[in-house]
Structure 1
Amino acid sequence: MIRSVRGKVLLLSFRVALAAMALACGASVALSQGAEIAFGTLAHDQSQPVEVTADRLTVDQTDGTAIFSGGVLVGQGEMRLSADEVLVVYDTEAEASGRIARMEAQGKVVLALGDEAAEAERAVYTIDAGTIVMTGSVLLTQGQSAISGERLVVNLDRGTGTMEGRVRTVLQPGSPR
């Protein structure tokens, strides 16, 4: 299963790179400070278990954290996230031991949900809020469309997102009738 998931992440990374090249070369460009976008064509259930694979795991019981490093791949339902390193912060106030409060990914972060993919330098997934905030040279691809900016806030419950910080996209004109 891990090989097929890694293959999907690599394919999505390739699609994101191609979209970045198209975005850089596009002649018809829209620029603004913020843009509302739809995100997550699939219903995402953040109560599903989180599966993590990595080359290394370091646990700190004193502050309730775990650091996964080296080719990290996180899966939850249909959502996939890959990064160089992921910090898992456990909810120390919850009665249920081992409950994840948030995950902080950094280094070549790629998030995939359905046919949508986003890459950034950093991402923070707050489980209970159902939000993912991606920062640092964010590029989002949705099918043939791409949009870039400095910060993407995704609300998984509503399937919406907001791109901020010098937003750029290439608009494809409709086909002639």
Structure 2
Amino acid sequence: MRRWLLSLLLIGLSLSSGWAVSLAASAAPPAKEETKKGASGFEINKKDPIYITADWMEVDQNKNTITYKGRVVTIQADMTMRSEALIAYYDPETKQMRQIVAEGKVNATQGNRVATGEKAVFDDKSKTVTLTGNPVMRQGNSQVTGTKVVYYMDQDRAIAEGDGKVRVQATIFPEELKNQDNENAATGKQK
């Protein structure tokens, strides 16, 4: 699950690294590959371009936002996120992303990993990603559900929460986890 959460955060992290201008324009290919291995061993390329398509886009410099609406598809490397809307909030002075909010049928996929919910919030200041609205995290046949899932980027940890009516539920297939660990060992990746 940690690798998947790290992958999901890739878009948020990349956007929080000065992508305000790139969000409003076409992304250019990276000049030089800069691969970074995250805390969970997942290799990411922070310079991979981010491609966003939507039915509508607005840049509002008075509100310091970039808004995409209608069948929004965000792609970076092998990660794809779909939503009905995507709003990027940026600092007017630094042009750095402060927060990215994806809303409406959020679906992020990478390989056999899928995260769904009604809303995903990438917050640069708190270094968190919060998934709400019937969040479901799947990897293969294993899954975790609750009312909210919060991933703390700096701490490489996640918390799934219930609300008193809905409890956290997890279904884990140990054989799949064992196979994943064996694949990671063969390729030199860590958990």
Into which bin does the TM-score normalised by the smaller protein fall?
0.5 to 0.7
Q: Secondary structure at the match of 1:137?
A: coil
For residue 109 of structure 1, what is the aligned residue in structure 2? 106
Change (3 A) 1:130 1:115: farther
For residue 52 of structure 1, what is the aligned residue in structure 2? 52
Inter-partner Cα distance in structure 2 for 1:71 and 1:100: 22
**Are 1:147 and 2:144 counterparts?**
yes
Inter-partner Cα distance in structure 1 for 2:157 and 2:76: 18
Change (3 A) 1:173 1:93: closer
CA drift of 1:132 comes to: 1.6
- Cα RMSD, aligned residues only: 2.6
Change (3 A) 1:113 1:129: farther
User: Which has a greater percent of strand?
Assistant: 1
User: Which has a greater percent of helix?
Assistant: 2
Inter-partner Cα distance in structure 2 for 1:116 and 1:53: 22
Q: Deviations over 1:5-38 (max 9, x none)?
A: xxxxxxxxxxxxxxxxxxxxxxxxxxxxxxxx53
For residue 92 of structure 2, what is the aligned residue in structure 1? 92
CA drift of 1:138 comes to: 0.5
The amino acid that maps onto 1:147 is V
CA contact (8 A) 1:39 1:161 kept: no
Q: Deviations over 1:35-69 (max 9, x none)?
A: xx534373345565432111110221101111101
Q: Secondary structure at the match of 1:101?
A: strand
CA contact (8 A) 2:51 2:76 kept: yes
Bigger relative contact order, structure 1 or 2, given CA contacts below 8 A and separation 6+? 1
Change (3 A) 1:100 1:172: closer
TM-score by length of 1: 0.64
The amino acid that maps onto 1:52 is I
Q: Secondary structure at the match of 2:62?
A: coil
Identity %: 28
The amino acid that maps onto 2:147 is E
Change (3 A) 1:81 1:130: farther
CA contact (8 A) 2:67 2:87 kept: yes
CA contact (8 A) 2:141 2:173 kept: no
CA drift of 1:88 comes to: 1.1
Inter-partner Cα distance in structure 1 for 2:45 and 2:125: 11
Inter-partner Cα distance in structure 1 for 2:47 and 2:91: 14
CA drift of 1:171 comes to: 4.3
- Which portions of structure 1, spanning 4 or more consecutive aligned residues, are displaced by more than 6 angstroms? none
The amino acid that maps onto 2:150 is V
CA drift of 1:131 comes to: 3.0
The amino acid that maps onto 2:129 is I
For residue 69 of structure 1, what is the aligned residue in structure 2? 69
The amino acid that maps onto 1:142 is Q
Change (3 A) 1:170 1:51: same
Matches within 5 A, 1:1-177: 38-40=2-4, 42-44=42-44, 48-94=48-94, 97=95, 99-127=96-124, 130-156=127-153, 159-165=156-162, 166-172=167-173
